[in-house]
Amino acid sequence: MNPFEYQQVDEPATAVDAISRWRGSKFLAGGTNLIDLMKNTVEQPPKLIDINHIPLRGIEQTPDGGVKLGALARNSDTANHPLIRKNYPLLSQAILSGASPQLRNMATNGGNLLQRTRCPYFMDPAFSRCNKRTPGSGCSALEGFHENHAILGASDQCIATHPSDMCVALAALEAKVRVRGPKGERIIAIGDFHRLPGTTPQIDTTLMPDELIVSIDLPPSPYGSHSHYLKIRERTSYAFALVSVAAAIDVDSGWIRGARLALGGVAHKPWRVEAAEAALAGQKLSISLFEQAASRALSGARPRRDNTYKVEMAKRAIIRALTIAGGLA
């Protein structure tokens, strides 16, 4: 780990001011990703600005009937909050499927959005070629073993996936990320928050380096009772997803008023599939309908040598998740 300065701040304005002054400095939230990556010098901030004392831990109902999740609320507290368990069980499930109880006690909602890929070549500087870590150096995964890499939206510069479970549920729930920068607050739709790699895989999100996430705002959800987060992984628990599905259906006596579908483990960002959602809307609940939606969702997939299995796995996972969400299981 490289040496760094350490500063605690207790309000958003001070945090933004501090980060604007120190080039390359980083906010420290739960530290579960940042400290991990600093240990092997993938991250080398000269200064850490500890934001844990900023009062952004609240989880509150908003006037429109939605919920505001403080950026510093812990993942465990978010998943277990009565408002979330009752109105957004999809989000509770997604969070509880990730990491371990210890890590979820540390991990914050803001930090979860910004966790970096688990591409093994990115995480280990022994592999010198990684465009995300060192722009222009090449991609070790493309030439190496890429079993758990992207099948959608990748580029020839980077085929990494976004590892978060929580973000897949947030994509399906159409969350908004409220951020504060030197010029004030702005809101970024979750779908615009994470980026595709393109020719600049070193940039994960549209958040500016001097912006602080203050909250994640959930709109009111009609999907409370008909949703499911399905996660497929190599062991039963405490593992990242190979493929995951957040499925949410607004059901009215057997008919689908609307649906939301997002995939994890398949792309550089949580992959919402609006074409599949459109195929579901207005139809009667049925397994064959779910099969059509799954085919649509994967129609643009471009697997590579080692990860062709993910296409069929994702299709079946979608069908299964919709079946459970729709109450047909």
Partner 1 sequence: MTTENSSRTSTVPETDSEEYSSVNPATDMIDCKLSRRDFVKTVGYFTGAGALGLQLISVETIVECAPLEFSASAHTVELTVNGLVHKLTMDTRVTLLDALREYLKLTGTKKGCDHGQCGACTVLVNGRRINSCLSLAVTHQGDQITTIEGLSGGEELHPLQTAFIEHDGFQCGYCTPGQICSAVALLEEARRGDASFVTPDLAHTGRVELTPEEIRERMSGNVCRCGAYPGIVQAVQTASRTL
Ligand X SMILES: Cc1cc2nc3c(=O)[nH]c(=O)nc-3n(C[C@H](O)[C@H](O)[C@H](O)COP(=O)(O)OP(=O)(O)OC[C@H]3O[C@@H](n4cnc5c(N)ncnc54)[C@H](O)[C@@H]3O)c2cc1C
Which residues of this chain interact with partner 1, rule CB under 8 A? 1, 3-7, 21, 28, 30-32, 35-36, 39, 46-48, 50, 52, 76, 79-80, 82, 85-86, 89, 92-93, 96-97, 99-103, 105-106, 236-238
Shortest Å, Cβ 154 to partner 1: 26
* Contact code string over 191-220 relative to ligand X, x by CB under 6 A: ---------------------xx-------
Using an 8 Å Cβ cutoff, are 179 and 214 in contact? yes
CB of 300 to ligand SF4, least distance (A): 19
Distance between CA 261 and CA 241 in Å, rounded? 16
Choices 96-104, 146-154, 276-284, 308-316; region in contact with ligand X by CB under 6 A: 96-104
Asked whether the beta carbons of 293 and 321 are under 8 A apart, the reply is: no
Nearest CA-CA partner of 127 in 162, 160, 153: 160
Given partner 1, ligand SF4, ligand X, none, residue 29, with its beta carbon under 5 to 8 Å by kind, binds: ligand X
> Which residues, in sequence order, are CB contacts of 91 under 8 Å at separation 6+?
78, 79, 84, 166, 169, 170, 173, 218
| Minimum gap (Å) between residue 24 Cβ and partner 1 | 11
Could you write out the three-class secondary structure of 13-54? Answer: HHHHHHHHHCCCCEEECCCCCHHHHHHCCCCCCCEEEECCCC
Distances (CA, A) of 177 to 2, 95, 186, 189, 215: 31, 17, 8, 6, 6
Q: Write 92-95 long-range contacts (CB < 8 A, 24+).
A: 93/169, 93/227, 93/228, 93/229, 94/165, 94/166, 94/168, 94/169, 94/229, 94/231, 94/244, 94/246, 95/165, 95/166, 95/169
Of 50-69, binders to ligand X (CB under 6 A) are: 51
- In angstroms, the CA 94 to CA 223 distance is 15
Which of ligand X, partner 1, ligand SF4, none does residue 57 bind (CB under 5 to 8 Å by kind)? none
Residues ≥6 apart with Cβ < 8 Å to 315: 291, 294, 295, 297, 298
Among 30, 66, 153, 197, which residue interacts with ligand X (rule: CB under 6 A)?
30
CB of residue 29 to ligand SF4, shortest distance in Å: 22
Computed over its alpha carbons, how large is the radius of gyration of the chain?
A: 19
Compute the least distance from the CB of residue 95 to partner 1, in Å: 9
Q: Which does 122 bind (CB under 5 to 8 A by kind): ligand X, partner 1, ligand SF4, none?
A: ligand SF4
Residue 127: CB minimum distance to ligand X, A: 19
The correct pick among 12, 33, 77, 158 for binding ligand X (CB under 6 A) is 33
One DSSP character per residue, 186-245 reads: EEEEHHHHB---TT-TT--BS--TT-EEEEEEEPP-TTTTSEEEEEE-SSSSSS--SEEE
Q: Site for ligand X (CB under 6 A): which residue of 36, 50, 174, 306?
A: 36
Residues in touch with ligand SF4 (CB under 6 A): 117, 119, 121-122, 130-132, 139-141, 149, 158-160, 201
- Look at residue 240 and give the partner it binds from ligand SF4, ligand X, partner 1, none, a contact being a CB closer than 5 to 8 Å depending on partner kind: ligand X
Q: Is 265 in the site for ligand X (CB under 6 A)?
A: no
Q: How far is the CB of 128 from ligand SF4 (least distance, A)?
A: 10
State the nearest-atom distance from the C-beta of 260 to ligand SF4, in Å: 28
Does residue 106 touch ligand X according to CB under 6 A?
A: yes
Give the footprint of ligand X on this chain (CB under 6 A): 26-34, 36, 51, 71, 75, 98-99, 103, 106-108, 110-112, 114-115, 163-166, 212-213, 240
